[in-house]
A and B are shown apart, each in its own frame.
Chain A
Amino acid sequence: MSESPPSKKTSKKISGFNRRAFMAGAAGATVAVPLTARAAGDAARPPAAKDASLPVDMMLRVNGADRPLSVDARTTVLDALREHLGLTGSKKGCDHGQCGACTVLIDGRRVVSCLTLAIAVQGREITTIEGLSQGDKLHPMQQAFIDQDAFQCGYCTPGQIMSAIACVKERHANSDEDIREYMSGNICRCAAYPNIVAAVKQAASQIEKG
């Protein structure tokens, strides 16, 4: 049974509080402590640690902002975003590059952030789902996913949207068949695929109009 959009809006108005704001706040609180602890230890650490057990200082550029980090060299972009920068929009599904839930753009190209080492993409422009909207105005692809009801549980949605934006930009959204082929790296366990295709088509025409 599908929930009707009006009831969603009603519940949001009554509480004045939504799940996303709560989750983001909670994540921020959790992250704040270790970040402070790390910052205190930074001064004593050599900049390029040769000892694999020591954290490495690095700078990531995320959604237009420089974000300093001191983390293990093994840290993926996905873990850096979620565990260290409080950006939990990108989702961890399989953690092996198979499901696409962690898709982000790096220098405008879609990649799986779970197989990308943070240390290797310093200085490159990382765009996540959090970097799409302009204030309260959603990106056309975000709006299209809502308009077309292109998700059920929503877990794969941030990855779907990031991938879909790139799919349009690559000019691989010219037909339903094309969209299905070039969105095949994003798995949806709820099987919202027909609506995802509809959303990509809706946004593609808007994005192309400019």
Chain B
Amino acid sequence: MRPMTYQKANDARAAVQALAAAAGGDAALTESSIQPLAGGTTLIDLMKLDVMRPSTLVDINPLAGSWSEINLENGNLRLGALARMSDVADHPEVQRLYPVVAESLKLAASPQLRNMATLGGNVLQRTRCTYFRDVSYASCNKRNPGSGCAAMDGFNRMHAVLGTSEACIASYPGDFAQALIALDATVEITGKAGVHQMPFAQLHKPPGNTPEIETVLRPGELISAFVIDGRWPRSLYLKIRDRQSYEFALASAAVALDVQDGIVREARVALGGVATVPWRARDAEALMKGQKLDDATAQHVAEAAMAGASARQHNAFKIDLGKRVVAHALQRAAMMEI
């Protein structure tokens, strides 16, 4: 790990001021030499690997007093960005009214990491692509822009089949983000100019020609909360992986349904493990509305969800697996007793 200095931010204003001091306002947060420290489970790991090289850490944990609420009043769900994954996963009302949220958190990482990692940090976690994490590989456009992509013709079994570009096929590793994007969550961002909100779906940027820029966040901007409107008791997260526990998804689906008299009124589908960013399958959702969710419809929706997928040498299995995960998740959600 490279030398760095450590500062503790005692309030939000001090935090954004310290973070905004990074050179220039145009840089992406991920590239900044001043990084916020929350749970540290991604940041310290990547600093040890020399992938992230901040010169200063700004510890934002003192903000947890006001930024870690779990609030279900007013018919929506508001989650503070410094809430720990385990606290939200174990919350009985979140489990009952937003099972997809609780399950996406419970099925991620390990109990120790869930006790440490925050929701805000979780959605910003970096890809697990080996060629990104291991600096001995010279080619990685995300780590070293313009250097090429070693994964294209490397061992790419874990890599994305949706949202890829010629510059990058690294998959987005998180689970919680799929629940957020499926439920049309809003993300609240605190910066120098104050607090603003935007759809969570606009937070992450597909790799395109600039895979090093992963989100629209700039230095001096912090995620302070997530808000989900309405209740989604008929929802779940299905995660398929190489091990039964403590492993990243090969393919996963966050689904939510509103079914009345057997007819789908509202449907949400998001995919994990298969895409470069949190992935919402809106075209697939539209096919279910006003329909009965029988096997044929689920299959039809699953095909649409993976439309446009393109595989490299080792990850073609993800296209078929992704379809099966979507179909199975929808069928299970339709049968939930709520």
**Is B75 in the interface zone, CB < 8 Å from A?**
no
Is B45 located at the chain interface by the 8 A CB criterion?
yes
Of the candidates A53, A100, A115, the one whose C-beta lies within 8 Å of that of B116 is A115
The residue of chain B having its C-beta at the shortest distance from the C-beta of A183 within the complex is: B111
Contact status A120-B110, CB under 8 Å:
no
Tell me the complex Cα distance, A96–B51, Å: 13
What per-residue 1/0 map shows which CB atoms of A95-127 lie under 8 Å from chain B?
A: 111001001000001111001110110000000
Partner of B45, one of A53, A115, A170, A185: A115
Interface of B is mostly: mixed
Q: What 7 pairs between A and B have smallest CB-CB spacing?
A: A185-B110, A52-B3, A184-B245, A184-B246, A115-B44, A73-B6, A109-B115
Bound CA span A37–B16, Å: 38
Residues of B45-84 whose CB lies within 8 A of A: 45, 47-49, 55, 57, 59, 61
When C-beta atoms are compared, the residue in chain A nearest to B3 turns out to be: A52
Contact count band on B: 20 to 34
- Total contacts A-B at CB 8 Å: 84
Instruction: Please determine whether B115 and A52 come into contact, CB atoms closer than 8 angstroms.
Output: no
In the bound assembly, the distance between CA atoms of A172 and B44 in angstroms comes to 28
Instruction: Verify A185–B112 contact, CB threshold 8 A.
Output: yes
- Cross-chain contact B41 with A120 (CB below 8 angstroms): no
Identity of the chain B residue whose Cβ is nearest the Cβ of A95 in the assembled complex: B48
**Cβ-defined contact, A117 with B110, below 8 A:** no
B135 CB contacts on chain A under 8 angstroms? none
A111 to B55, CA, bound (A): 25
Let me know if B37 and A50 touch, CB within 8 A: no
Contact surface of A with B, Cβ cutoff 8 Å: 49-53, 56, 72-74, 76, 95-97, 100, 103, 109-112, 115-117, 119-120, 163, 166-167, 170, 172, 180-186
* A-contact 0/1 string along B286-324, CB 8 Å cutoff: 000000000000000000000000000000000000000
| Neighbour of B112 across the interface among A73, A76, A112, A180, CB < 8 A | A112
Interface contact B6-A117, CB-CB below 8 Å:
yes
CA distance A181 to B116 in the complex (A): 18
CA A60 – CA B112 in complex, angstroms? 20
Contact A120/B111 with A52-B3, A74-B1, A95-B48 known, Cβ cut-off 8 Å: no
Q: Which parts of B102-117 form the interface with A (CB within 8 Å)?
A: 109-113, 115-116
> Are B112 and A100 in contact, CB atoms less than 8 angstroms apart?
yes
Say if the beta carbon of B5 comes within 8 Å of chain A.
Answer: yes
In the complex, besides A73-B6, A97-B113, 15 extra interface pairs with C-beta distance below 8 angstroms are A52-B4, A52-B55, A53-B3, A73-B3, A76-B44, A97-B41, A97-B112, A103-B112, A109-B115, A115-B44, A119-B6, A120-B8, A120-B59, A172-B111, A185-B110
Residues of B within 8 A of A117 (CB): 6, 37, 40, 44, 57
A70 to chain B, nearest CB (A): 14
Nearest B residue (CB) for A185? B110
- Does B245 contact A180, Cβ atoms closer than 8 Å? yes
Please tell me if the beta carbons of B111 and A167 are within 8 angstroms of each other in the complex.
yes
Q: A52-B55, A112-B116, A184-B245 are in contact. Are A163 and B1 (CB under 8 A)?
A: no
Q: Which of chain B's residues have a CB closer than 8 A to the CB of A116? A: 40, 44, 116
What are 8 A-to-B residue pairs whose CB atoms are below 8 Å? Answer: A52-B5, A74-B1, A97-B41, A97-B44, A103-B112, A112-B113, A120-B6, A185-B246
Rounded to whole angstroms, the CA-CA distance of A74 and B3 in the bound complex is: 7
Q: Closest A-chain residue to B4, C-beta based?
A: A52
Complexed CA–CA distance, A181 and B246 (Å): 8
**Measured CA separation A172–B106 after assembly (Å):** 12
Question: In the complex, which residues of chain A have a beta carbon less than 8 angstroms from the beta carbon of B111?
Answer: 110, 163, 166-167, 170, 172, 182-185
The answer to whether B3 and A111 touch across the interface, beta carbons within 8 angstroms, is no
What separation, in Å, do the CA atoms of A186 and B40 have in the docked complex? 19
A172 neighbours in B (Cβ, 8 Å): 111
| A181 to B110 Cα, complex, angstroms | 9
What residue in chain A is nearest B5 (Cβ atoms)?
Answer: A52
User: How far, in Å, is A100 (CB) from chain B's closest CB?
Assistant: 6
Residues from chain A with Cβ under 8 Å of B8 in the complex:
120
* Cα-based distance from A70 to B109 in the complex (angstroms): 33
CB-based nearest B residue for A99:
B110
